[in-house]
Chains A and B, each alone.
Chain A
Amino acid sequence: MDIRETTADEFIMGNNAAFKTIYEATRGMLYAVIYRMTGNAEDAEDLLHDVYVRAYEKRHQFKKGKAALSTWLYSIAVNHTLNVLKQKKRWDNVVFDPAFEISMLEKLTEQDDHNLVNTVLTRMNPDYRVCVILKDVEDKPYEEIAELLQIPVGTVRSRLNRGRAQLQTLFQNADNALSRGELHTTKGGM
């Protein structure tokens, strides 16, 4: 995404018009990645607000020669969202939590794909989730993901593999349960 160098300079000087130009140019990209990571529009809007406020406060730390302004904003968005998701700690036992599997099976039978995606996302380990989203959804190269998250490339690869395996197991378990007709039995037991 191209942001003119003069606009970036004016933003660093604290010019509000330049900041709004940058906001208009980057909000879609940042909102998309935050929304994909959170799976929730309200949380994504709150986080987007925090990201731009943080970027404005830390604008003097932006080094022009190192990366583009849009890349710098993107890294703030990804890391801030990841930190917030880690604080929530609601993702554990994604594969083996019976209550989660029931809610997933309900979404599968209702053919409600959008809610199913959000249900799955909100229960995934954020470290795996961010790697799956950046690689498989945003199509970022391994090196860029490693630089964004400030972790080694090998760690990105292992987290991505674990995330993919976790999701595949999850969907396979749900399909098996559906084919065995366990949904009604489980729901009856509730």
Chain B
Amino acid sequence: MDYNSFISQLKAEPDHPAPEIWARINATIHTPEPQRIRFLDFISYFKWIPAAAAGAALSFFIALSVFQDNEKTAYERYLNDTNYIYLACAYK
């Protein structure tokens, strides 16, 4: 077989679709929307859960780092204060 005979084979008209196809189409379009199971819709609904979880985790860590920075600053201030007291005592 060569390219031209391949195309000729493809050009041969295929049989018509089975008569029950129309009945299937008709049944599908008259099925109320909520009864149809749409797997992709189901997945697309739940894909927001990992996105929301990732967002919440990110916010948590940002808040934690800000809180820790504040804590560190307060602690450092405390250390500095006590050092000054020690220095003052030593100086005296």
Contacts and interface: CB of A to CB of B under 8 A. Distances in A.
Nearest to B26: A16
B5 A113 contact: yes
A84 interface: no
Nearest to A33: B14
A45 B18 contact: yes
User: SS class of chain B's interface: helix, strand, loop or mixed?
Assistant: helix
- Residue of B13, B14, B24 with most partner-chain A CB within 10 A: B14
Contacts of A116: 1
Interface in A1-38: 16, 19-20, 23, 27-28, 31-32, 35-36
Given A28-B16, A41-B14, A113-B9, 5 more contacts: A32-B13, A36-B10, A36-B14, A57-B29, A174-B1
Interface of B: 1-3, 5-7, 9-11, 13-18, 21-22, 24-26, 28-29
Interface of A: 16, 19-20, 23, 27-28, 31-32, 35-36, 41, 44-45, 48-49, 52-53, 56-57, 108, 113-114, 116-117, 120-121, 132-133, 136-137, 164, 167-168, 171, 174-175
